[in-house]
Structure formats: structure tokens, C-alpha cells
Amino acid sequence: MKSAMISSQEPTMITDIFEKASRGLASFLYSGLQQKLEPIRLARVGYALLTSGCSVRGDFPGESLSTYLIKSQQKDGGLVDVEETLWCMGFLGAFGERYREEISSGQKWLASVRLPCGAWGKSERDQPRIPVTALAAALVPEIVNPSTLKWLANQWETDLESPVHLTYKGSFFLLAQAHSDAPSSKELTRRTVRYLTREQEEDGGFSPWRGHPVGSDPWSTGVVLWGLSSAGHFVPRQTVERALSWLQCKQQPDGLWPYHYLDDGSAMALIGISSILPFLSEQ
């Protein structure tokens, strides 16, 4: 069943999605801190709330979360793995110079586990991965250099020409194009946006690939919107509006979206919504 289209005349619908998700994730964060959940889950939600406009001064427990993440940091500066460290450093970075020492330590650890090709896997023993490397470019841009971005573009172009494609890989490639050192890749960006537009499900959402057995999900849809926010005028407005409509239709009364981990899918959906809203206002 196709979702109803969000028109440019219905900003209140988008605002409603946005505010409900922010309230739901803020509630999860308070509860998660009490339960001492994994740092990556809390840092990701905290980062999502920051992108939605919540203030580090008190709209949610930013100080408590920062303290929790710093206590979870190991002596070498890292956390459990690369991805967790990236989300934690990305959140702490919103506080400016306050946590300079902890952030510097985390950045040094991340640089130390960079793979020879210039990219990152989930650990130094893992293979290089597009999503993890692009997250580094988005969350901790200081540790990413031109060789990293060149690897990312080359790897995604190879994947795009292969028989198997994954929407989130293309979306993460687009996300990294916002980095100040990203090489000019207009043609690859254009091809990637066309690919993602073709992969959009009939209901307006996104999944790892069109026709995926589970169907559209909030994580994939959020990642695509986050990536498309870096692609500028190449993005068809209708693609964005259909994705937002799907998110609006699937949002639960508590503001979250059903997914393996409610916080994971919902945080990514909110990041995607927050990132793409400027695109809609500019159209």
C-alpha cells in the first residue's frame, strides 16, 4: 500500500514526526542511562537528539550522558570498537573544548586502528567497510584524510558496478561527500542518487535493497535521507517526500519506529529527518 504524499503545504506533518521522535528518544535516553545500556546505543541517540535541535544545556541529559561515555572510555582512548568510539566522539564533540582531552585521546586511538588502505573496519582486524569509514568522515572529520575519501569513492564505485548493491552503502558514500576534503565526484554522486531513487520501495521507504523480504525499515530509510542531504540539487524532491511519508505512517504513538532495536532504527530515522529538512526548505 502506498503512503500518502507529504506535500510542501503540510509542514505541520513533518514537525509532528520530528517532535514525537525527539520526545520518544529523549525518554529512551533517560531510561537507558539508568539501565546503563551500551555506550554506542546511548551516544547514537544523544547524537540524534543534537541533530534535531535539542540543546546540550538541558533539553535532555547531555551532561549525564557525557560523563557516562567518558567513564566507558578505555585507557587507550577507544571504547569497545571503532563504531562505538565514533558515535561517542561525535557526541562529545558537540560540547566544544570541554572534553578536548578525551576527544583527542579517542581520535588518536581511531587513527591507530586505521587500516593500511586508509579506511576503517569495525576493528583493526576487520576488513575495510564503507559504512564505518563514512561514519568517521561525518562524526570525526578531523581523522579523515584525502586517501580515506579516495578509497571510499573507489570502493563504492566498484560496488555500484557489481551485481549486488546495498542502499546503505551508497547512502554512506554520499554522506562522506560533505567532508571538506572529499574529491569532486559529481558524476558518481549523480549515479548514486539515481540508483537510490530506483531502489525506493513502492511504499516510499527504503530497505537494504529493493524487494528485500522484510521490506522498508526506519534504519535504511534514515540512512538514505542522511546521505541524500549531502547530494544537493541532484536529489528529486519526490524521493524525499515519499520517504518522509513512509516514516510518518510507520511511526508508533511513542514516537519511535519498530526495528530490531527501537533506539537504533529511531535514532537513524531522526538523524535522516533532521538532515534533510533544510533540503525541503530550499526547494
What is the separation of C-alpha 268 from the centre of its chain, rounded to a whole number of angstroms?
Answer: 5
The percentage of residues in the chain with a pLDDT greater than 70, rounded to a whole number, is 93
Q: What pLDDT is attached to residue 225? A: 97
Q: What is the rounded distance in angstroms from the CA atom of residue 197 to the CA atom of residue 214?
A: 19
Q: What is the rounded distance in angstroms from the CA atom of residue 61 to the CA atom of residue 276?
A: 25
pLDDT at 32 over 50: yes
pLDDT band for position 75 (cuts 50, 70, 90): very high
All domains of the chain, ordered by start, with CATH?
11-282 (1.50.10.20)
Lowest mean pLDDT among 3-12, 21-30, 59-68, 262-271: 3-12
The answer for residues whose C-beta is within 8 angstroms of residue 68's C-beta and 6 or more apart is 33, 36, 39, 42
Residues 274/51, Cβ–Cβ less than 8 Å: yes
Mean pLDDT, the chain, integer: 91
What mean pLDDT is predicted for residues 72-78? 97
Q: What pLDDT is attached to residue 279? A: 82
Q: What is the rounded distance in angstroms from the CA atom of residue 135 to the CA atom of residue 172?
A: 7
The percentage of residues in the chain with a pLDDT greater than 90, rounded to a whole number, is 79
Q: Which three cell numbers stand for residue 79?
A: 571504547
Q: Which three cell numbers stand for residue 149?
A: 575519501
- Tell me 268's DSSP state: H
For the whole model, what pTM was predicted? 0.93
Q: What is the C-alpha R_g of the chain?
A: 18
